[in-house]
Amino acid sequence: MEYDSSYYSSYYYSWNNSFDYGDYNFKSFRQKYIIVPFFFTIIFLVGVVGNSLVLYVILKNGAMKTVTNLFLLNLALADLVFLVFSVPFSASLYLHSEWLFGDFCCKLTIYLTYVCYEVSVITLTVMSVDRYYAVVHPMRSRIHRTLQRTLLTLVVIWIVCLIGSSHAIKVGDSVMILRYGTYQYTCLEWWSVEGRKQFITCGFVIFYCLPLVTVAFAYALMARRLWVSVSPTMGSDDAQLRTVQTRRKIARLVLAVVVVFALCWLPFHIFQLLSIWINSYNSIYTDGFSIFGQFAKVLAYSNSCLNPLLYSFLSDNFRKHFKRACSPVHSCGRKFRVGTQPGGSDPEAALINLTNYNASLRQPMNTISLRVVKDCQAPKLRNSSSNSNVVTNTTPSSPVATL
């Protein structure tokens, strides 16, 4: 079988930086672009912290477990796996120029890179179609858009991508090559010339172009419903307008995530296509093209850390829960959920009634009303059985409320 000898400097170079420019001085290239591992470090730290925070916020808070948020959780999970199993290995190749982690890690890294990318693409596409369904067919979507069905959809997405990316295990390999007069291990994928062209071209069409066309079509229909068919001048009531505004905010968030993903990965796909369809190998791999390849790779990797930042800017709920999760006193939130009443005009207040009972007669002795103003502040007490501000327990055997 004929193998593509230029593969080192093209396809897998874009993923894991295992490449050989032939006469090009790799050492000077590495010294000139030593800043790339620095960017990878920033991407890794911000991405791991941000996506872990997204997982924590959605899983910890019951109110955040919505259909759309489950899709965002799946994106965070895919980004987290990608960051942990791809970015550190890529950074190490800039520093050592040799694969140090063996054949198993080589295959695993290539495999999970494909899996996470495909999971992200399919999740974004399905999430956009889901938003279209919720906006254009709101009554019908209430029946079909359930958390259980969404979880099942996410499981199916992972299974399909895990099976569909199994080719990476076959083509990925850690091999020893001759470089600068010495033998060094490198991690790469073995493709035939035509096979590599077909794979990259089909991947670009199936996992980039078609999803974007689908998302664009879904959002065109949503825009007609949210921004054209419904407007404040049409006499809609306040409840309907609030519902439309909420749907607009969610639609903007989902669209922003899709657009950022498309922009981050577009230079990478351009680099891939140029590397396989331009025939003159010696003329394409110039200093400028190699710089463009590094830029495309860093930009593609950075997408894995940008989504949590988008949620913070575009979603009030995520921003509020992020602040609570990062606050050192976030665990002092309201613990009184039973018997609560609205606390008046203060949205941060709640009125809690606790009643002491006589243990022997099983009759109420007095009632304590607690007004919780804000998280972690001492509640105000008043005794409903008297005008005194001090609450006393007249029955030694009565249970005492624990606050």
CA dist., res. 93 & res. 88, Å (int): 9
pTM, 2 dp: 0.74
pLDDT, residue 244, reads 78
Amino acid at 140: R
Per the listing, tokens 């992020």 go with 322
In a domain, 389, yes or no: no
CA dist., res. 87 & res. 36, Å (int): 11
Q: Which one of 310, 326, 342 terminates a domain?
A: 326
DSSP string, 207-243: IIIHHHHHHHHHHHHHHIIIIII--GGG---HHHHHH
pLDDT, residue 396, reads 41
Give the number of other Cβ atoms within 10 Å of residue 138's Cβ: 13
- Please report, for the domain that includes residue 278, its CATH number: 1.20.1070.10
Contacts of 314 (CB under 8 A, 6+ apart): 249, 252, 253, 256
- 261 and 377 fall within a common domain: no
Note the maximum CA span of the chain: 96
Instruction: List pLDDT tens digits, range 127-142.
Output: 999 999 998 888 888 8
CA dist., res. 8 & res. 22, Å (int): 10
In a domain, 312, yes or no: yes
Contacts of 145 (CB under 8 A, 6+ apart): 67, 130, 133, 134
- 321 and 338 fall within a common domain: no
pLDDT, residue 328, reads 64
Nearest to 385 by CA among 403, 369, 400: 369
With b for 16 or more beta-carbon neighbours within 10 A and e for fewer, the 329-341 pattern comes to: eeeeeeebeeeee
Strands 364-372 and 340-342: unpaired
Where is 109: in which H helix or E strand? Answer: helix 102-136
In a domain, 50, yes or no: yes
Total domain count, the chain: 2
Q: What is the CA radius of gyration of the chain?
A: 28
- 185 and 272 fall within a common domain: yes
CA dist., res. 290 & res. 271, Å (int): 10
- 158 and 292 fall within a common domain: yes
8-state DSSP, 205? I
In a domain, 53, yes or no: yes
CA dist., res. 20 & res. 4, Å (int): 13
Query: Residue 177's beta-bridge partner residues?
Result: 184
Is the separation of the CB atoms in 38 and 225 below 8 Å? no
Per the listing, tokens 């495999």 go with 111
Give the tokens for residue 399: 């249970």
- 131 and 228 fall within a common domain: yes
- 123 and 146 fall within a common domain: yes
Instruction: List pLDDT tens digits, range 335-379.
Output: 434 443 444 434 333 444 444 444 444 545 554 444 444 444 444
Q: What phi and psi, each to the nearest 5 degrees, are found at residue 371?
A: -105, 105
Strands 364-372 and 350-357: antiparallel
pLDDT, residue 112, reads 95
In a domain, 240, yes or no: yes
Domain span at residue 373? Answer: 333-383
CA dist., res. 403 & res. 389, Å (int): 17
In a domain, 60, yes or no: yes
pLDDT in tens, the chain (403 residues): 444 444 443 333 333 433 333 334 444 455 456 788 889 999 999 999 999 999 999 999 988 999 999 999 999 999 999 999 999 988 888 787 788 898 899 999 999 999 999 999 999 999 999 999 998 888 888 888 999 999 999 999 999 999 999 999 988 888 887 766 778 888 888 888 888 889 999 999 999 999 999 999 999 988 887 776 555 444 456 777 777 788 888 888 999 999 999 999 999 999 999 888 775 444 555 667 878 888 999 999 999 999 999 998 888 889 999 988 887 654 444 443 444 344 443 433 344 444 444 444 454 555 444 444 444 444 444 444 444 443 334 344 333 333 3
pLDDT, residue 57, reads 94
CA atoms within 13 A on the CB side of 284: 15
Q: Which one of 280, 304, 326 terminates a domain?
A: 326
CA dist., res. 50 & res. 65, Å (int): 18
- 297 and 357 fall within a common domain: no
- 230 and 355 fall within a common domain: no
- 92 and 208 fall within a common domain: yes
- 255 and 299 fall within a common domain: yes
- 90 and 231 fall within a common domain: yes
Q: How deeply is 358 buried, as exposed, middle or buried, from its count of CB atoms within 10 A (0-12, 13-18, 19+)?
A: middle
- 258 and 361 fall within a common domain: no
In a domain, 397, yes or no: no
In a domain, 396, yes or no: no
